[in-house]
Amino acid sequence: MLKQVFESDFGESYVKCEHESGLQIYILEKPLYNSAYALFGTRYGSIDNVFSVNGEKTQVPEGIAHFLEHKLFESEDGDAFTRYAATGAYANAFTSFDKTCYLFKCSTRFYDNLEILLDFVQSPYFTAATVQKEQGIIGQEIRMYDDSPGWRVMFNMLLAMYKNHPVRIDIAGTTESIAEIDDKLLYKCYETFYNPQNMFLCIAGNVDTDKVLKMVDEAIKPKEKVELCRIMPEEPDEVVKPYVQQALEVVIPLFCFGYKEKTEKPLSLKKRICTSVLLDMIIGDASPLYKKLVNEGLINDEFSFEYFNGPGYASVIFEGESQNPQRVADEIKAEVARLKEEGLNKKLFNAVRSNFYGNAIRNYNSIESIAMDLVDCAMSGHDLFDEIKYLKAITVEDVFKRLTVLDNDKTVLSVIVPKEK
C-alpha cells in the first residue's frame, strides 16, 4: 500500500494511502481524544444520473443515489443499525450532490464498528419488497422538505439558475421519480459507483493507523476496473430567470440570492479560499455592508452566505430572512459594483484573514470537522494542511481577482413569501 505522511507546523499530522483496489484512505490520529469518527464514501451523488460504463450509456431516475443510501443499510439477515446497536456507536449516512457517505462515531469498540461499516457498504441486498417499503419512508422525507421554507428557497433558486445541470434537482428526487426505482436499477448503480476505485475512507480520532490499514486490507474486496464516465449536459452561462417566488406558511419572507459562475474545470482550493475571504469582506459581520443592512432592518441573525461549488457548478449564495429581499439583493449588487471600482480594503483583508486562520485552527478541535475535511481532500485531491498554507500566503490582489466572478447580470433572487390569509 502506498503510504504518505503529512506533517503540519501546528502539531497535527495525517496519513494518506492508496490501497491496491484503488480505495483512498486518510487517517488523522487524535490520541488524546476518547472518540473516533469514520466515513466510508463514494464519489456518487444526486447529480450522477447519466453515465456510461465501458462506453454503454445509462440514464437513471432522479433521487436514486439517495434511495440507494437508504437501502444499503439492509442485508438479508437484518440491518446495519442492528449491528451497530450491539456496539453502541452512533451511525448515519448522507447523500449530497456529488457524494454518498456512510459514517459512525464511537468512543469504544472502534475496530468492531469499522468492520461493520466496511462490510455492509460492500454487501448490497435489494428486493422488490424492500424497495417498495422504502418508497413510503422517502416519500415522507420528500413531503417534509416540501414544507421546509429553508429548503424550498434554495432549490427554487437552483431551478431558476441552472437550465440543464442536475444540481437543479432535489437530492431525494420526487415522489414520481422514486416510484420508477426498482431493485435492478439499484444494483446497476451500485455496481457502477461502489467500486473501491471510486471510493474513500476517512477517519479522525483515537485510532491506530497501522491497525486500521491492516483491517482495510483484509476487508476491501477489489473489483474489476471500469471506464466510468459521468455525462453532464451543456449548461449555458446565463441564468434561467432572475426572480422566482413561492408562497408558504411563513411570517417573514425568506430569500436566497445567488450569482452564477461559469465553471468548467474543478475549482482549486486556493480559488475557493480566496472566494470565501472575498465574501466575508463584502458582507461578513465586520463589513460596512453588513452594518448598513442590519441597521436599516433589512437582515437579521439568520443571514448567511456560502460559496457553493462542485462538478460543473459554482455559485455564490446569500440567504436569510428579510422584509424586503429585493432591497438586500440590490444593496449586494451595488456593493459588488463599488468594490470592483474602488478596490478592497487592506485592513479589513488582514482582519478577515486572521479570523479565517483562527477558525481553521479551531476546526482541529472537532473530529467530525477533520474527517469531513479529509473527505474534501479525497474529492478534490488537495492536502489537508493546504488551507492554512494558502491563508498565510494569499494577498488582497488574489482575493480581488475573484471579485470578477460576481457578474451582476447573472443573478437569481428566490423568495418565499407568506401565504395570503
Partner 1 sequence: MSDKIVSIAEGVEGLFIENNRFNTTSISYNFYLPMREETAALNALLPFVLTSCGKDYPDFSALTLKLYKLYGATIDASVEKYGDCQLLSMRISCINDRFTFDSDSLVKSASDMLLGLIFEPNVENGAFLEDDLQREKRKAIEHIKGEIAEKRIYAKNRIIGEMFKGEAYGIPKCGTVEQVEAITGETLYAAWQNMLKKAFVRVQVIGEALPHKFFEGVAERFEGIERSGITDCRLCKPTAPANKVNTVFEKMDVKQGKLVMGFSSEMYGDDDISLPLMVMCDIFGGAPYSRLFTNVREKMSLCYYCAASAIRYKGLLLVDSGVEWQNADKAANEILNQLEIMQKGEFSDFEFESSIKSISDTLTGYYDSQSGIDMWYALKVHNNELYSPEDILQKIKAITREDVIYAAKGVKLHTIYKLLPKEGPIC
Beta carbon of residue 144, minimum distance to partner 1 (angstroms, whole number): 5
Q: Choose which of 23, 283, 352, 378 interacts with partner 1 (CB under 8 A).
A: 352
**Region near partner 1 per CB under 8 A, out of 163-171, 208-216, 309-317, 357-365:** 357-365
Which member of 211, 262, 291, 346 binds partner 1 (CB under 8 A)? 291
Interface with partner 1 includes 13 (CB under 8 A)?
no
Stretch that binds partner 1, among 17-25, 260-268, 299-307, 373-381 (CB under 8 A): 299-307
**Contact between 400 and partner 1 per CB under 8 A:** no
Residue of 72, 353, 38, 33 whose CA lies nearest to 202: 38
Q: Using the rule CB under 8 A, is 286 a contact of partner 1? A: yes
* SS3 of residue 260 by DSSP: strand
- Residue 294 within binding range of partner 1, rule CB under 8 A: yes
346 binds partner 1 (CB under 8 A): no
- Selected binder of partner 1 within 44, 102, 356, 390 (CB under 8 A): 356
Least distance between partner 1 and beta carbon 263 (Å): 29
Between 10 and 346, CB nearer to partner 1: 10
- Least distance (Å) from partner 1 to the CB of residue 111? 14
Closer to partner 1 by Cβ: residue 146 or 210: 146
Strand order across the beta sheet in which 411-418 lies: 243-248, 411-418, 254-260, 313-321, 304-310
Interface mask toward partner 1 for 241-260; x: CB under 8 A: -------xxxxx-x------
- Give the chain's end-to-end CA distance (angstroms, integer): 65
Contact map string, positions 82 to 121, toward partner 1, x by CB under 8 A: x-xxxxxxxx-------------xxxx-------------
In the complex with partner 1, which residue's Cβ is closer, 54 or 300? 300
Residues identified as active-site: 69
Choice between 233 and 297, CB closer to partner 1: 297
DSSP bridge pairs for 36: 106, 205
Q: Is 149 in a helix, a strand, or coil?
A: helix
* Segment (H or E) for 25: strand 24-29
* Nearest distance in Å: CB 96, partner 1: 18
In angstroms, the CA 28 to CA 50 distance is 35
Using CB under 8 A as the binding rule, whether residue 140 contacts partner 1 is answered as yes
Q: Which residue has the cell 451500485?
A: 190
Q: From start to end of 141-213, where are the E strands?
A: 199-205
- Give, as ranges, the residues between 34 and 63 that touch partner 1 (CB under 8 A): 34-35
Burial of 71 (0-12, 13-18, 19+ CB in 10 A): buried
Residue among 35 and 275 whose Cβ is closer to partner 1: 35
Chain-centroid distance, C-alpha 377: 12
Contact flag: residue 351 with partner 1 (CB under 8 A): yes
Choose, by CB under 8 A, the member of 336, 367, 371, 413 that binds partner 1: 367
Cα(382)–Cα(380) distance, rounded to whole angstroms? 6
Q: CA–CA separation, 377 vs 370, rounded Å?
A: 10
Helix/strand/coil for 68: helix
CB 107 within 8 A of CB 152: no
**φ and ψ of 237, to 5 deg:** -70, -30
Q: What's the closest the beta carbon of residue 140 comes to partner 1, in angstroms?
A: 4
Binding flag, residue 297, partner 1 (CB under 8 A): yes
Q: Are 247 and 420 in contact (CB under 8 A)?
A: yes
Least Å from the CB of residue 245 to partner 1 = 15
Concatenating the DSSP letter of every residue in 174-188 gives -HHHHHT--HHHHHH
**Secondary element (H or E) of residue 231:** none
- Taking the least distance from each CB to partner 1, the nearer of 386 and 407 is 386
- Whichever of 307 and 364 has its CB closer to partner 1, that residue is 364
Give 228's strand partners: 53
**Closer to partner 1 by Cβ: residue 108 or 304:** 108
Most distant CA atoms of the chain, gap in Å: 66
Q: Is 2 in the site for partner 1 (CB under 8 A)?
A: no
CB of 30 to partner 1, least distance (A): 7
3-state SS record for 337-354: HHHHHHCCCHHHHHHHHH
Among positions 182-241, residues that touch partner 1 (CB under 8 A) are 205
Name which of residues 144 to 183 contact partner 1 (CB under 8 A).
144, 146-150
